[in-house]
Amino acid sequence: MTNVKMAVWLGCILYCGLLYGQQEFTVSGYVQEASSSEKLFGVTLVFNGSMGTTTNEYGFYSITLPADNYGLEISYLGFQTIRQEISLQGNQKINFELVEETNELDEVVVKSNRVAKAITSTEMSVATLKTETIKKIPAILGEPDLVKSIQLLPGVSSVNEAASGFNVRGGSADQNLVLLDEATLYNSSHLFGFYSVFNSDAIKDVKLYKGGIPSVYGGRLSSVLDVKQREGNAKEFNGLASVGLISAKALVEGPLGKGEAKEGKGSYMIAGRRSYADAFTFLSSEFKDVSAYFYDLNLKANYELNENNKLYLSGYFGRDKFGIKGLVNTFWGNGSGTLRWTSVLSDKVFLQASGIYSNYSYNLDNLRSGAEFRWKSVINNYNFKPRLSWFINGNNTVKVGTDFTYYNFKPGQISPLEGSSVVPQTFQDNFAFETGTYVDYQQKVSDKLSLQYGLRWSTFNRLGKAEVNQYETGNPLTYDPELDNYIVNPVVGTTAYTSGETIKSYNAFEPRFSMRYLLTDNSSVKASYNRMNQYLHLISNTTSATPLDVWAPSGTYLKPQSLDQYALGYFKTFKEGAYDLSLEGYYKNIRDVTDFKNGADLLFTESVETEFVQGNGRAYGLELQVNKNEGKLTGWLSYTLARSESKVLGINNNQYYPTNSDQLHELNLVGIYKLNNRWDFGANFIFGSGRPVTYPTGRYSQNGLVLADYSDRNGNRLPAYHRLDISATLNPKSGKNGKWTFGLVNVYARQNASSIYFSEVSEVNDQEVATGQTQATKLSIFGFPLPSISYEFKF
Amino acid sequence: MKTHFNILFVISVLMLISCEVDVTNDLTIETTAPKLIIEGGLERNLKNPLGGQRIRLTATTNFLDNNGQTPLVEDAVVTVSDGITSYEFTYAGNGFYENTELTPEVNGEYTLEIVWNEEAYQAVETLNEVPLFDAIYSVFEEETLVTDEGYFAKFDSTDPAGIANFYYHRIARNGEFIVVPDPGNSDVLVISDEFFDGQQRVGVNPNDEIIFEIGDEAIVQQLGISEAYYDYLYEVFVQSSAGGFSFVGNPPPESIRGNVKNLTNSANRPLGFFYAADVEEATLIITE
């Protein structure tokens, strides 16, 4: 038996040696869009129908194959497929340009293997959306929105229409890693979550990882939303401007260092967006004292130093303002800048390195007379992210790198305004250093089996200078089962740490694995596992809307959260890719998930460790998506069946309770219909079973006011949610540049319950009084059909 | 300083595009078995000494029950001890239990004991001294977004330096103490000296919802309370003004925990708070 084994091994080695003996060459280069020279990410290149590769984020590909003649097929969603013969008799550099599929309907539809990618890729639980699709989906007040659009995909939702952020597979909004050109954004919302910070005109593509997250990403538990800005047109100057009900936008782009050449050495893109000075307040004169608006700026430029070296610069700056005269004023937003260098070190080795600065700041002015003050909270972080990709051969690709992040949190500075007697105060800065070192290996084992596996080693060090409170029992909080409440333990002293000294150090290994097995030419099964660690925690004291997003780092008392996710999926295409289907199941187990103790007070609190409690969570579900990819009518149907629960000492009698994002059924139907060359129609229908709500289980009074007693957290359910939205786009005649978009959100005026709440009737004939009478009130955010119109033109 | 601006944010934005419907009659909500409610405490008032100390005991009902009948607890045994003497509180009707012998002292530690339905309840509270008013006066103010136009009773008071102080403001108009469910209550009716330790506060409006006319009599009170009672009242004012508005409630609405324990059966947790407070009081006739 041993001899037989030996013989097989020897045979293998000999065979491999023979393969190796045959001459191999590398073909590499870039794939770009023909009209603008914009580099394309994720383009599939297939040689002789079996061996293949895809372009990376910079449009670069490299594959090493035995010397031979190959039939090469290059395909990308929305672009015409290129078919070409290649005779590989030496190392070659070939750049390709892809042409967008035209709008001409009568033209013979080129069947491509673009859908096949969903079958053959090892990636699962991944969603991509293109800006063109986002712009065709009906939008609230006609402002196309990335985050609202991804919520139409299975497993992605939000707590309600005005909730900030989004929830992925039952996770909370702060568990999403939101990257804009590699820079972390800490708040993805404008105007209390009605809109996201992403200006759809400036975005090239977006990829959402819900599971099977590769080892190159880390730092958040639930998902990665990787958003890339457009690079700009390297061939000619272009402009785009649009006016809608809520905002006006403009974008310009053009070549850099073009001279007399056909294409510039680089390109730039600048986009700006500004909501009208007082968004919403035009609706009612009662709100003359309220001001609410936002703006943002996007910038990207790239320049080719030489054939192998390129520089990229990207920036984002956005701000929101909300104020009520004489009461409160707030001003908050993200800013980021990324400088990147990419270098083709050899045909097979690609280097990228990014230096990133990102900043999130939040100002709150209390304007109540006698106590006017400003509270300011800032996060600064500095990243350096080098990565090496080695395209070993057609079957093996390896990526290695490290992400370094240095954080400086300034949790609170309080300064008096207008000469009030408030004493200025500054909370101490928090410093931390995080690293994530990873290796990611993509391996094609056989024609049927492909693997992607990797390991990420993350470390997180809280650094001085700081003084850390020491509590009497060693812990900030003690649970008192008799009062069913947490008692804050007395501070018995502080430990002082000098600048740069380690206060608390965490590290963890995060294995990642995914595999794909082809069942037939048009179906596959996939499985994945990923472990994630999250070292930052969001302190936000409402499920919604609040700009009070203050992040706290893990440290002496606050532990990092960690998660294991297992997923299994089945993928199939029908009718040569005209339809495709995906079915996935997942299970997530979360440790040290953070929640707030009863009556937590989060604002202006320096020692946040006395407000948090940590426990366990679990989430599981099934997701189904069916896409129709061809014909006049395209779109998708998605259905999610899911549960998300937490168990935390001191909450819900120490039993599992549904999280705010728990929703059993969710169904989305999205259709885009192309009537002719001028008219596009879009519609989406959303159905969701009732979200959790907590109804009171008793009534009593204290100090002249009626109060409610509650028992089970999130123990009741709101009525089911459903809504239909429609839109129509009138495209310009050939030679003309103006485009009209019309929309109607909530067509049949469904008064969906965003909340049902219980209160004492406190107003009689416009006078505030304590009546002692109680009532239940249903709040609907869009209780009526909401029309919109917008106009966009190119120049 | 505790604030609750976020509710204002959301509510004011939402009011513009949202709609609200009264669904009181469309809902059936469950009720747990009646729980004991403790309302009241000890007050040391040197300006206007009280005739006696009173504590009220009632029980919970269904939240949407509006028949006006508060279930009274009439058969409990109530005592308060100062560590030396135990004072019995006798039933005086309408749920109130009274004692006329107990004289609360600054820094006194008081233990409340209740026996009801064969279960024993206990709470402990310390009385904190309150600073006096430096001045009290009336002021006319124009309408703002959160207050109406009219005369307000205001005071100046100096916070003692180096001590953590917690204040609770009460106000009476023509002899009647008034409070309304208002989002501002949690900022106005209770306050900690975290941001003004040792400073004089000038022009403090004890309740900016209460407007006076010329000739009205105002009784203004500033109570020195414990940190635990401050935390409790803060939650009371937040909940009563937001009404468990779970749209903005993260975490979701919770039963407010008081300081009274059920020693016999901790799962049958009582509601309410037993407090001890020092009261500074002044009376003012509103003038121009």
Residues of chain B contacting residue A650, judged by C-beta atoms under 8 Å apart:
none
Residue B153 burial (CB count, 10 A): 28
Distances in whole angstroms, Cα of residue A427 to Cα of each of A325, A364, A378, B30: 27, 15, 11, 45
Nearest to A266 by CA among A203, A205, A310: A310
Extract the tokens encoding A456: 């990420």
Extract the tokens encoding A767: 């006078």
Q: What percent of chain A has pLDDT over 70?
A: 91
Query: Are the CB atoms for A211 and A586 separated by under 8 Å?
Result: yes
Nearest to A508 by CA among A589, A440, A562: A562
A126 Cβ partners below 8 Å, 6+ apart?
A207, A208, A209, A210, A212
Extract the tokens encoding A477: 């909080």
Using 70 as the pLDDT threshold, list the residues of chain B that sit under it. 1-18, 144-146, 242-251
Q: What is the pLDDT of residue A566?
A: 97
List pLDDT tens digits, range A342-363. 999 998 999 999 999 999 988 8
Q: Considering only the beta carbons, identify the residue of B37, B243, B250 that sits closest to A700.
A: B37
Q: What is the pTM of this model?
A: 0.87
B9 DSSP assignment:
H
Q: What is the pLDDT of residue A14?
A: 41
CB distance from B52 to chain A under 8 Å?
no
- Mutate which: A161, A480, A758, vs B, most B CBs within 10 A: A758
- Mutate which: A194, A542, A777, vs B, most B CBs within 10 A: A542
Q: Considering only the beta carbons, identify the residue of A698, A702, A777 that sits closest to B236.
A: A702
List pLDDT tens digits, range A43-53. 888 888 778 88
- Strands (DSSP E) along A521-578, which ranges? 523-534, 536-539, 550-553, 561-574
B37 Cβ partners below 8 Å, 6+ apart?
A700, A701, A702, B57, B58, B59, B60, B73, B270, B271, B272
Q: What is the pLDDT of residue A425?
A: 84
Interface of B with A in 70-89 (CB under 8 A): 70
Residues of chain B contacting residue A548, judged by C-beta atoms under 8 Å apart:
6
Residue owning tokens 């993260």: B250
Measure the CA–CA gap between A555 and A544, rounded to whole angstroms: 26
Query: Are the CB atoms for A659 and A617 separated by under 8 Å?
Result: yes
How would you write A18-78 as a 3-class SS string? HHHHCCEEEEEEEEEECCCCCECCCCEEEECCCEEEECCCCCEEEEEEECEEEEEEEECCC
If phi > 0 it is left, if psi is from -120 to 50 it is alpha, else beta; for residue A650 that is left
- HSE of A354, CA atoms in CB hemisphere, 13 A: 26
Residues of chain A contacting residue B119, judged by C-beta atoms under 8 Å apart:
none
CB distance from A708 to chain B under 8 Å?
yes
Residue type at B90 in one-letter notation: T
Q: What is the pLDDT of residue A241?
A: 94
Give the least confident one: A111-125, A549-563, A637-651. Answer: A111-125
Nearest CA in chain A to B38: A702
Interface of B with A in 119-158 (CB under 8 A): 144-146
Measure the CA–CA gap between A161 and A147, rounded to whole angstroms: 11
Q: Considering only the beta carbons, identify the residue of B18, B60, B252 that sits closest to A694.
A: B252
Classify residue B33 by burial, with Cβ atoms within 10 Å: 0-12, 13-18, 19+. exposed
Residue A218 predicted with pLDDT over 90: yes
Query: Are the CB atoms for A538 and A221 separated by under 8 Å?
Result: no
Residues of chain A contacting residue B20, judged by C-beta atoms under 8 Å apart:
777-780
Interface of A with B in 85-144 (CB under 8 A): none
Residue A279 predicted with pLDDT over 60: no
User: Is the Cα torsion angle A671, A676, A678, A679 positive or negative in sign?
Assistant: negative
List pLDDT tens digits, range A548-598. 667 889 999 999 999 999 999 999 998 888 899 999 999 999 999 988 787
CB distance from B118 to chain A under 8 Å?
no
CB distance from A366 to chain B under 8 Å?
yes
Measure the CA–CA gap between B255 and A709, rounded to whole angstroms: 5
Nearest CA in chain A to B20: A779
- Helices (H) and strands (E) in chain B — how many of each? 3, 17
Q: What is the pLDDT of residue A102?
A: 63
Nearest CA distance, A247 vs chain B (angstrom): 17
Distances in whole angstroms, Cα of residue A95 to Cα of each of A40, A60, A61: 12, 9, 9
Q: What is the pLDDT of residue A370?
A: 64
By three-state DSSP, how is residue A262 classified?
coil
Query: Are the CB atoms for B271 and A709 separated by under 8 Å?
Result: yes
A246 DSSP assignment:
S
Q: What is the pLDDT of residue A167?
A: 92
Q: Point out which residues pair with A304 in neighbouring strands.
A: A310
List pLDDT tens digits, range A393-404. 878 999 999 999
Query: Are the CB atoms for A615 and A649 separated by under 8 Å?
Result: yes
If phi > 0 it is left, if psi is from -120 to 50 it is alpha, else beta; for residue B117 that is left
Query: Are the CB atoms for A461 and A436 separated by under 8 Å?
Result: no
Q: What is the pLDDT of residue B5?
A: 43
Q: What is the pLDDT of residue A718?
A: 92
Nearest 5°: the CA angle A712, A718, A723 is: 155
Nearest CA distance, B154 vs chain A (angstrom): 11
The pLDDT of A52-66, averaged and rounded, is 89
Per the omega criterion (within 30 degrees of 0), is the bond before A465 cis? yes
Measure the CA–CA gap between A578 and B224, rounded to whole angstroms: 74
Measure the CA–CA gap between B191 and A491, rounded to whole angstroms: 22
H or E stretch at A11: helix A2-21
CB atoms A755 and B246 under 8 Å: yes
CB atoms A548 and B6 under 8 Å: yes
**How many interchain CB pairs under 8 A, A with B?**
320
Q: What is the pLDDT of residue A287?
A: 59
CB atoms A697 and B29 under 8 Å: yes
The pLDDT of A56-68, averaged and rounded, is 89
Q: What is the pLDDT of residue B145?
A: 60
Query: Are the CB atoms for A302 and A267 separated by under 8 Å?
Result: yes
CB distance from A698 to chain B under 8 Å?
yes
Q: Point out which residues pair with A723 in neighbouring strands.
A: A686
Nearest CA distance, B101 vs chain A (angstrom): 24
User: Is the Cα torsion angle A278, A280, A282, A285 positive or negative in sign?
Assistant: negative
Helix, strand, coil in percent for chain A, rounding step 5 = 10, 55, 35
List pLDDT tens digits, range B87-126. 999 999 999 999 999 999 999 999 999 999 999 999 999 9
Measure the CA–CA gap between B274 and B268, rounded to whole angstroms: 17
Q: What is the pLDDT of residue A542?
A: 54
A9 Cβ partners below 8 Å, 6+ apart?
none
CB distance from A694 to chain B under 8 Å?
yes
CB atoms B22 and A283 under 8 Å: no
Give the least confident one: A591-605, A714-728, A736-750. Answer: A591-605
Interface of A with B in 260-319 (CB under 8 A): 280-281, 283-284, 287, 289-290, 292
List pLDDT tens digits, range A130-181. 888 888 888 887 888 898 899 999 999 988 777 778 999 999 888 999 999 9
A79 DSSP assignment:
B
Classify residue B31 by burial, with Cβ atoms within 10 Å: 0-12, 13-18, 19+. middle
Query: Are the CB atoms for A77 and A121 separated by under 8 Å?
Result: no
CB distance from A772 to chain B under 8 Å?
yes
- Mutate which: A779, A782, A786, vs B, most B CBs within 10 A: A779
Q: Considering only the beta carbons, identify the residue of B197, B201, B249 that sits closest to A543.
A: B249
Query: Are the CB atoms for A455 and A511 separated by under 8 Å?
Result: yes
Residues of chain B contacting residue A759, judged by C-beta atoms under 8 Å apart:
181, 240, 242-245
- What size, in residues, is chain A? 795
Residue owning tokens 């001899």: A3
Distances in whole angstroms, Cα of residue A496 to Cα of each of A413, A476, A502, B140: 21, 17, 11, 51
Q: What is the pLDDT of residue A107?
A: 37
Average of per-residue pLDDT values in chain A: 87
Query: Are the CB atoms for A43 and A70 separated by under 8 Å?
Result: no
B7 Cβ partners below 8 Å, 6+ apart?
A542, B183, B241, B242, B245, B248
CB atoms A544 and B248 under 8 Å: yes
List pLDDT tens digits, range A20-38. 456 888 999 999 988 888 8
Interface of B with A in 175-234 (CB under 8 A): 177-182, 187, 194-197, 199-205, 209, 231, 233-234
Query: Are the CB atoms for A367 and A336 separated by under 8 Å?
Result: no
Residues of chain A contacting residue B144, judged by C-beta atoms under 8 Å apart:
325-327
By three-state DSSP, how is residue A484 classified?
coil
